[in-house]
Structure 1
Amino acid sequence: MSRGIFSAIGTAAALSIALTSCSSPSGPATTTGATGKAGGNLVVGVTSDPDTLFPWKATQFQAVNVLQNIYGTLTEFDKDLNVVPGLAESWETSKDGRTLTLTLRQGVTYSDGSAFDSKDVTSSLNKIMEESTAAVARASLSSVKSVDAPDAHTVVLKLSGPDAALPANLATVNMAMLSSDDTEEKLNAAPNGTGPFAMKKRVASQSITLARNDTYWGSEKPKLDGVEFRVIPDESSIVSAMQSGNVQLAIFNDPLVAQTAQGGSITIAKTPQLNYHALQLNTRRGDLGDVNVRLAIQCAIDRKQVLDTAALSEGEVTGPITAPAFKSDPQQRPCPTRDLAKAAEYLGKAGKPGGVTVKAIVSQGEYATSVNEGQNLKAQLAEAKITLDLEVLESGAFVDRWVAGDFEAAVALNGGRPDPDGMYSRYFTSKGNLNKVAGYSSPELDKLFAEGKATTDQAARKEIYGKVGAELENNAAWIWLFTGYTYTGTTAQVKGFVPMASGSLQYLRTTTLN
């Protein structure tokens, strides 16, 4: 993985999370050097149909990629992962860090023609914070005590204390600003957002078609007439569709497919990612409740072998935190290299010298390397008398089980973020809304995450999240494996699309077709 690329990203990310005032009269930076003409309909090949069209509950990559082009957020990330204005054109923090005042853009409308104002923001933030909503980003608003709207274009957040991560946390599509008149049921049938595109048509399990939103507020209007996300379950079949001219853009996870696709009419752009591959362990299930069993699993795995086998060595072994400004050192963990003798010792301490059996779910269709990762982990663990019983599920079924925390272990690819609070506090704090997915929390982690949010000094935050990583690794909460790349395939007529380290497809709004 290119250290130069990550260094540049790290510098931007380090600046992006500071809780400071910010303003921009013209909206997010979108200059991309696009040279194609306006118009045309772009077809994007995807391997799965989105499992939801409700942005507050979207965790599946395919769903997120569609919805981030339909909905708007108060802040956004630019191509370098700096936090920039979105639906909030500026924000200012009080000297004590306990008040965040947002000034909203004027003249913004939803795709149904209704006006966006502070009522929609207060409604959205309050509903996200309600436990009954089951919003996946609820924990990111844990510092917010109240949301007030003194006028139609101003929103004031009263905080329990300084929250250095809040501007970055507001930038995810899970924090989309919805019309106060809309409901989950209504939006799952007919999405209604302020983004660059609007829903036009959906054919279940086949395609989702978006049309340009001519009232989009950004300084650069979308250039395409529309975007179709066409479901083609196999990445190799997507390559064939691109070669025949039926698909113009696709994001590949399988490095072998990317290698075979490169050349001729297809260009491949390779982008290092913040996301991470992991074997998630639910410490509240069976033998995994014993830290010694979990440490035995950790010591029995050669992460580089998983990377080499499943992803053709395309990536690097990782620790918990992939955010460049806070990056974990994978050598600072129990058993940084595979140690079967140590694994046996831990099993002995657990009173399981004869071994254990762990059931693991694996998705098929959401990302390409999942099953190969599971098979390699199974083979490695068998040598340590640990049986990994794999259950392969289609993408939608996997996500349902995953969100419900209905598994002992899960072979997973999780999205990373530029700030580690948004990345992990919802998982590993006792009150985190995805803690049942994580299957692990501790008083020490609760304390560290609280300190990380309240601290604005960058060096101090780096030290705090270093302790978070150590706590996770020393207790083998999960087994972090590797980070990899995405491979953006485009045909010759596609111009102006910018791949991002976050995996976002937000720059479809600057894409053109020759």
Structure 2
Amino acid sequence: MAKHAKKDGERVDRRSYLRHIGAGATSVVLAGCTGGDGSETGSPTTSGGPDDTDPDTETQAPDTKRSDETLVIGMASAPDTLDPHNINRLSAQEIISSFAEPLFRDNPEGEPTPHLVSEWEQNEDASRFDFVLEEGITFHDGETFDAEAAVWNLKRIRENSSVASDISASTITTVEATGDYEFYVEYEDPFPLLPRRLTIWNFSMVSPAAVEEAGEEFGQSTVVGTGPYQFDSWNRGTAVTVTRFDDYDWGADWLTTQGPGYVGEIQFEHHPEGSTLRNELTNGDVHGSKSVQLSYAKEIENHENTQLARKEFTRQSYLCPNCQSSTFSEVDVRKAVVHAINKEAVMRSTVSGEGYPIWNCVTPNHSNSLGEKESKELGQQFNPKRARELLENAGWTNSQQSEVRSRDGEDLSIDFFTYTIEREKRAGRAVAPMLERVGFDVNLEILEAGTLYNKVESGEHDLLMMALGGTYGLSWLENALHSSRWFTEDSCCNFSIWENEEFDQLIDDTKSEPDPEVRAENVKQAQRIALEEAPVAPIFGYNKIFGYKNEVSGVDNWTEHAWWPVEQYDRYMELFL
């Protein structure tokens, strides 16, 4: 068996570790959700005088950073629930990650590392995993976190979570405790991705006693986890407040503190109007936010009261042609759409240039990406002339440029949906005239998310503006393009309604393949098929930003993490005023 441990337990080298856990996946998040990632561009201030410094680091010693001050985090949207097993929106992740924790964490190098777990091992074909939990961990209600609680959580996730498929829950045969702090998970088939998937915030551990006592109120008036902060209150439409959990001492080894967070309280304030959130950050009471509209990034960066951290990230803007529709069932027509789009122009009009053009929705920042060079070679470049040629080849003709094309007496008319969210609305308005210039008749509908999803579920769309986030290439491909993920009420997020047997088989094989090199090649081959078939039209990847007041310190402690600030946990431990 392969063994893995942390702290004083048995260790394995990086090569051996990656061979066993490989390149896995994590959950993805739809347009309408707010996410972020970036690299430091400002220099956070440090408080404290000479008597408050650590001589080894010449920074303020951890204990002296702790205070009863309140850190205010600004958010653009509010969650419906704070139950991690019943929601998959980043507005919820931002709050839930302060008080609830998964069994594993991604370390700054992107490797899944035991967190609430102390040791784990898997059998030779990765169909059984045995775990030993850290002792001494408690929930905020005083209940012990033990094997019985871990098993209860995994069974609840298997039955309730909308992203249970990320741990291949339907193929789990057994989840059982074998001791006070030992349990195992067994699968019908090999599933070597489990440790990586167990870093996902949706799979955080919650108190069984609290769930059973609160009933339907769990996630509303009551939420109990093991994190560095504990839930205090939820004032609907205004803010969620969490307070420091002073008994916390199991923080990750790579943080400057393994104990409780530095600030005494965090308020997550809801500011749905973009300009209001910007004003609250620059001149109001908000101390930091990753939810500020990208169009305000430079303003925040240049303001005398604020600083900005920024980095290219995996979240991207792209188009989904309905591959089951009569118009977009043909590859040439789908490729014509890609050739018609000026990526740089859309990016400028949508996010004021806070992004980067992409030719493959598995961006260079994803794991196992083809990379920019091969993606650009295989993908379709901005070339309106080529777009017109492809449409001509498909029988869609016109007598002059920009005139609506027709075939067999039918106009090339499409229903194009986008969200009321400002950036998606701008993107749709930028793309529509580009398609019209090559001969499409575009009916652009700007819809509230619920209405849009209902129409898409009914197959009423020809083309859809979408944004989807995630950190791992396999996860993005499976969720966005596998035929089992055709968008319905219970499934997400193949909005293109695309199906390709070879692609599906590659994705399915990757999830059970124990050899990481084979997994990596499968993911790359799946990308090549997608680029050839053009079921999506990549446009640009987003920059992720974190804007913060000058008096906020600790940002430089966590911006080096590969997934910041999607990895919320580091931030809640490290930031102080």
TM-score (norm 2): 0.75
Of 360, 372, 375, the match for 2:429:
375
Q: Is the contact made by 1:103 and 1:154 (CA closer than 8 Å) also made in structure 2?
A: yes
**CA–CA distance in 2 between the matches of 1:341 and 1:84?**
48
Q: Structure 1 residue 200 and structure 2 residue 232: aligned? A: yes
Which residue in 1 is equivalent to 2:30? Answer: none
Q: Structure 1 247/398 Cα, relative in aligned 2: closer, same or farther at 3 Å?
A: farther
Task: Tell me whether 1:312 sits opposite 2:370 in the alignment.
Answer: no
Name the SS of the counterpart of 1:460 in structure 2. helix
- In structure 2, the CA distance between the partners of 1:447 and 1:386, relative to structure 1 (3 Å rule), is same
For the 8 Å contact 2:413–2:443, the answer to whether it is kept is no
2:501 aligned to which of 435, 439, 443: 443
2:387–2:438 Cα contact (<8 Å) kept: no
Counterpart CA distance in 2 for 1:113 and 1:350 is 70
Q: Which residue number corresponds to residue 186 of structure 1?
A: 217
CA distance in 1, matches of 2:325, 2:60: 51
Structure 1, 224-233 or 150-159: larger mean CA deviation = 150-159
Contact 1:162 1:454 in 2 (8 A): yes
Does 2:159 correspond to 1:120?
Answer: no
Q: CA deviation at 1:484?
A: 2.2
Per-residue CA deviations over 1:136-195 (Å, capped at 9, x if unaligned) read: 242432554432221231221223444343222111112222334527833231222222
1:26 counterpart residue number? none
Match 1:234 to one of 263, 266, 273: 273
**Structure 2 counterpart of 1:375, which letter?**
R
Quote the Cα distance in structure 2 between the aligned partners of 1:347 and 1:38: 67
| Structure 1: gaps spanning 5 or more residues | 1-12, 22-31
Distance 2:447 2:224 in 1: 31
Is the CA contact (8 Å cut-off) linking 1:34 and 1:495 kept in structure 2?
A: no
Contact 1:405 1:438 in 2 (8 A): no
Larger deviation, residues 261-270 vs 207-216? 207-216
Does structure 1 retain, via aligned residues, the 8 Å contact 2:318–2:361?
Answer: no
Structure 1 SS opposite 2:266: strand
Which is worse superposed, 99-108 or 144-153?
144-153
Shift in Å, 1:205: 2.0
Asked if structure 2 preserves the Cα contact closer than 8 Å seen for 1:15 and 1:82, the reply is no
Q: 2:475 aligns with which of 409, 412, 422?
A: 422
CA shift in 2, pair 1:435/1:246, >3 Å = closer
Query: Normalised by the size of structure 1, how large is the TM-score?
Result: 0.84
CA drift of 1:227 comes to 0.9
Distance 1:89 1:268, change over 3 A: same
Give the conservation status (yes or no) of the 8 Å contact 1:223–1:512: yes
Identity %: 19
Question: CA distance change for structure 1 residues 123 and 286 in 2, over 3 Å: closer, same or farther?
Answer: farther
Is contact 1:362-1:398 (8 Å) kept?
A: no
Aligned partner of 2:416 in structure 1 is: 359
> Structure 2 CA distance, aligned partners of 1:331 and 1:486?
23
Contact kept? 1:290, 1:350, Cα under 8 Å: no
Taking the aligned partners of 2:455 and 2:129, their CA distance within structure 1 comes to: 34
Corresponding residue for residue 37 of structure 1 = 65
CA shift digits 1:224-251 (9 cap, x unpaired)? 1111111122333223223334111011
**Contact 2:73 2:286 (C-alpha < 8 Å) held by counterparts:** yes
Check whether the contact 2:424–2:466 (CA below 8 A) recurs between aligned residues. Answer: yes
Residue number among 140, 145, 159 corresponding to 2:167 in the alignment:
140
Task: Indicate how the Cα distance of structure 1 residues 430 and 250 shifts in structure 2: closer, same or farther if over 3 A, else same.
Answer: same
The answer to whether the Cα contact below 8 Å between 1:250 and 1:490 also exists between their aligned partners in 2 is yes
Partner of 2:380: 335
What SS class does the counterpart of residue 51 from structure 1 fall into?
Answer: coil
Deviates more, 1:347-356 or 1:147-156: 347-356
1:326 maps to which of 361, 368, 372? 368
Task: Tell me the equivalent position of 1:7.
Answer: none
- Counterparts of 2:157 and 2:300 in 1: how far apart (Å)? 41
Structure 1 residues 401 and 54 mapped into 2: Cα distance closer, same or farther (>3 Å)? Answer: farther
> Does 2:494 correspond to 1:452?
no
Unaligned runs of 5+ in 2: 1-13, 23-56, 252-257, 397-405, 486-490
The question of whether the paired residues in 2 share the 8 Å contact of 1:18 and 1:165 is answered with no
Q: Does 1:260 align with 2:299?
A: yes
Q: Which residue of 1 aligns with 2:203?
A: 175
Cα displacement (A) at 1:252: 4.6
Amino acid at match of 2:478: S
Q: Determine the structure 2 residue equivalent to 1:156.
A: 184
Mapped pair 1:64 → 2:93: yes
CA distance in 2 between counterparts of 1:358 and 1:399 reads: 12
Instruction: Report if the CA contact (8 A) 2:479-2:494 is conserved.
Output: no
Match of 1:96 in 2: 125
- Offset at residue 200 of structure 1 (A): 1.4
- Give the 3 Å change call, closer, same or farther, for CA 286–362 of structure 1 in structure 2: farther
Computing the radius of gyration over CA atoms, which structure comes out larger, 1 or 2?
Answer: 2
Give the letter for the 1:320 counterpart. C
Q: Which moved more, 1:81-90 or 1:38-47?
A: 81-90
Q: Distance in 1 between matches of 2:517 and 2:90?
A: 32
| Residue identity in the other structure for 1:452 | T
Deviation at 1:260, TM superposition (A): 1.0
Q: For this pair of structures, how many residues does the alignment match? A: 486
* SS of corresponding position for 2:341: coil
Aligned to 2:38: none
Equivalent residue, structure 2, for 1:506: 569
Is the CA contact 1:119–1:149 (under 8 Å) kept in the aligned structure 2? yes
8 Å Cα contact 1:265/1:491 also seen in 2: yes
Q: 1:490 to 1:399 in 2, by over 3 A?
A: farther
Cα distance in 1 between the residues matched to 2:299 and 2:321: 35
Does 247-256 or 340-349 show the bigger shift? 340-349
Task: Provide the C-alpha distance between the structure 1 equivalents of 2:91 and 2:386, rounded to a whole number of angstroms.
Answer: 41
Asked if the contact 1:34–1:496 (Cα under 8 Å) also holds between the matched residues in 2, the reply is: no
Residue 19 of structure 1 corresponds to 20
Rate the CA distance shift 1:421–1:256 in 2: closer, same or farther, 3 A: closer
2:138 is equivalent to residue 109 of structure 1: yes
Q: Give the deviation of 1:465 after TM superposition.
A: 0.9
Deviation at 1:383, TM superposition (A): 1.5
